[in-house]
Amino acid sequence: MGIESYMIHKRIAGLMIAAVLVALGGCGELDSNWDASWWKQDRRVLKPSKRPPAQKREGTKPNPAEPRENSDTHVASVEPVGAAPRENAVVRRASNSKSPVRPFFHLYLVPSGSKAADSNRNEVRIELRHLTPRMCGMLLEMLYVPLGRSGSGEETYLLYEQPEEFERAMAFVERLDVAGGTDAWSEGIAGFVKTLQQGAVIDKAVVGLSESKFASIVQSGDGSSEVRWAAAIFAGKLAADYRYEYAEARSYYAQAQRFAKEESIEAMTCEWWRADTFIQESATRDANEALEDILDHYTHLWPKSHVIERSYAILKKNQKR
């Protein structure tokens, strides 16, 4: 009886050991680093960032967040220029159509005396008295960057998707439409227009004179913050695009930022052209940092601005290299 009892216990112990091994090992090899909580782990590769929705880089648009109040603290002593983030800023036009409102806003610049046309919703036509539509459009797109600019010999239009940007551009047209004045602003605009008209053949004296006129506005204590901001942007564009002095251009853009409200479209424009100088210099690392700053600071405020769209696209292209 003792031997039989011993054999029975031995068989039972063997079966139990085999069962335990089968349960642990299964049909494959046993992984000694197996983690019982693997299913709880996030296996995505995440890059720390303050930037809102990551899906924006895949071509989708982030949902606009609630606008934030602007800070009351500014560097400039004058009242800064800029549209504060706000809701329901769409310029509405009467229409009997029941179709949904189009997501784009068209700003048409037409010559003086042109025949009025019926405006659809989200379209505005502004009649110019002095500048040609094309020249006015080329200047305006430096201040409020559109999705695109097009048109014919009779009219030019700029396309926007951010309604506040559309409104700001529309309001600034009157300041650009000047001619024949002897003040620094009028002379600066006249010189810049002449430079744009010259195309590839650039008169450096005209460029220098125009830039100096805008620089004098920036440095003077006179003039509104709106004009001084625009003058600094124009001076920077002349320095970068025609004299290839990128460091000087960045200095102008830094001065322009002093006249812009914090987190405004105008402040975003300053940072956009600063990033552009790095792109022109092929300074990819500096360009990426500048573009990331734009996305961090402005995506949640102006998600439909073309500056945001372009910043994402350029940054994504640079990171693939």
pLDDT per position as a tens digit, 119-131? 666 789 999 999 9
pLDDT tens-place string over residues 201-215: 899 999 999 999 999
Band (pLDDT 50/70/90 cuts) for residue 199 is confident
Does the structure show a pLDDT above 60 at 77?
Answer: no
Whether the pTM exceeds 0.75: the reply is no
> Following CA atoms 304, 309, 310, 316 in sequence, which dihedral angle do they give, to the nearest 10 degrees?
160
Give the Cα separation of 103 and 93 in Å (integer). 14
Distance (Å, whole) CA 133 – CA 157 = 8
Lowest mean pLDDT among 66-80, 257-271, 278-292: 66-80
How do the domains of the chain map onto residue ranges?
A: 102-177, 179-259, 261-321
Cα(292)–Cα(269) distance, rounded to whole angstroms? 14
Question: 145-177: string of b/e by CB count within 10 Å (b at 16+)?
Answer: bbbebeeeeebbbbebbbbbbbbbbbebbebbb
pLDDT reported for residue 117: 61
What pLDDT shows up at residue 12?
Answer: 56
Order of strands across the sheet with 123-128?
A: 123-128, 105-111, 156-160, 148-151
